[in-house]
Copies of this chain bind each other. A is one copy, B any other.
Amino acid sequence: MISPATVPEPVCDPGSVRNTSPAGKATSPVTAPRTLARCRDLVRPSLSAAIARLHPWHGEMAAFSLGWCGVGGTPTDRPSEGKGVRQALAVLCAEAVGVPGEKAVAGAVAVELIHTFSLMHDDIMDGDETRRQQETVWKAYGTGPAVLAGDALFALAVQTLAEVPGPHTAAAVGRLSGTLNGLVRGQAEDLLFSARPWTGPEAVRTDEYRAMAELKTGTLLGCAAALGGLLGGAPARTVAALDRAGRHLGVAFQAIDDLLGIWGDPDVTGKPVHSDLRQRKKTFPVLAALTENSPRTGELAALLHSPVPLDEAGAVRAAALVESCGGRAATLGEARHHLDAARACLRSVSLAPQAAHEIDVLIGFLLHRRA
């Protein structure tokens, strides 16, 4: 959990803003959880129908990965699905360009399938054994099946978009394929970072990390937003602005993830306390801390270079050093900067006020999320 002392004031308090219908009649207040749930409900039938087209074995692994069922296909009592930020962004951006969210559902399904695919494959590459408090797909079903199920989701995402009737199909598929290219490029950089030293001329710089985060996380959020606009028939300038907004959101999202990876509440994130430090992940807070010119950075680097695993005390000390070297504040600044930039992109084009407001509330929520 990001400590309240360092969290900026929300631009809009999720609990206090009221939704105003086109007729001006006040309805239920806009909250990010409510918006996310509304979008998930809108997209869910098409997402389920898409997954039902898969080979049953892959369909089960996809449903397992989405938290809809356990191994063997038994529905879960406690669905542990993600927030669905990507699908929500596609739906909200279609609404923001003045069409019903339904127009963007194929795009929402495609980005959600790509997100699921990328988690499945990334967990193999990173050797991660748990996600959202359950086993990862490769851990539960084996590496080979998880590789193949990921491929199946990838293919299904492209197929879903390629089958959208209307004049925007080729542009939508072109955008998705460019996104996929960016996604794998970002993951490659992330994997290569792990082999580089913490300090010295070969150390990973924060600007390199930001470029990686934009590719790995930003391109898909940008694609989600852009597909909403594109399938909604928006002009190219609006689609480009939505894409840029989504990319900034992605960089901010990654920064918050990095904060939660060190200071997140294990009961909420489902990961051990200080997990990213224990795994010596090269994340923004640590890289930013190491740029400070102080004796503490030497101590931090020594802890990170140590050949033995970090014990509890070591991880606590490393987290304290990252914080005192300014890594935590720099990361929060990074998140705020990119959320502000996302908002500026959205303000640069004409959008339907209601949807634009819901996106704004969602942005505030992302900054304050605890998992």
Chain A residues in contact with chain B, CB under 8 A? 53, 55, 57-58, 121, 124-126, 143-145, 147-148, 150-152, 154-156, 158-159, 162-163, 169-170, 173-174, 176-178, 180-181, 183-185, 187-189, 191-192
Contacts and interface: CB of A to CB of B under 8 A. Distances in A.
Contact of A121 (B58, B151, B183): B151
A148 B184 contact: yes
A58 B162 contact: no
B162 A177 contact: yes
Contacts of A147: 121, 124-125, 147, 150
B159 A180 contact: yes
A174 B124 CA distance: 29
Contacts of A176: 158
A121 B148 contact: yes
Contacts of A126: 144
Given A174-B162, A181-B156, A188 B58 contact: yes
A185 B143 CA distance: 17
A162 B173 CA distance: 7
Interface centre among A53, A126, A169, A188 (most CB of B within 10 A): A188
Contacts of A152: 181, 184-185, 188
Contacts of A158: 158, 173, 176-177, 180
Contacts of A184: 55, 58, 148, 151-152, 155
A126 B145 CA distance: 10
Interface centre among A126, A158, A183 (most CB of B within 10 A): A158
Nearest to A157: B177
A124 B145 CA distance: 10
A73 to B, nearest CB: 15
Given A124-B147, A173-B173, 18 more contacts: A125-B144, A125-B145, A145-B191, A148-B184, A148-B187, A151-B154, A152-B181, A152-B185, A155-B180, A155-B184, A158-B158, A158-B173, A158-B180, A159-B174, A159-B177, A159-B178, A170-B170, A170-B173
Interface centre among A53, A159, A189 (most CB of B within 10 A): A159
A163 B177 CA distance: 10
A111 to B, nearest CB: 14
A154 B154 CA distance: 9
Nearest to A166: B170
Contacts of A53: 181
A173 B145 CA distance: 26
A54 to B, nearest CB: 8
A159 to B, nearest CB: 4
A159 B178 CA distance: 6
Given A55-B188, A159-B181, A185-B55, A143 B124 contact: yes
A185 B154 CA distance: 13
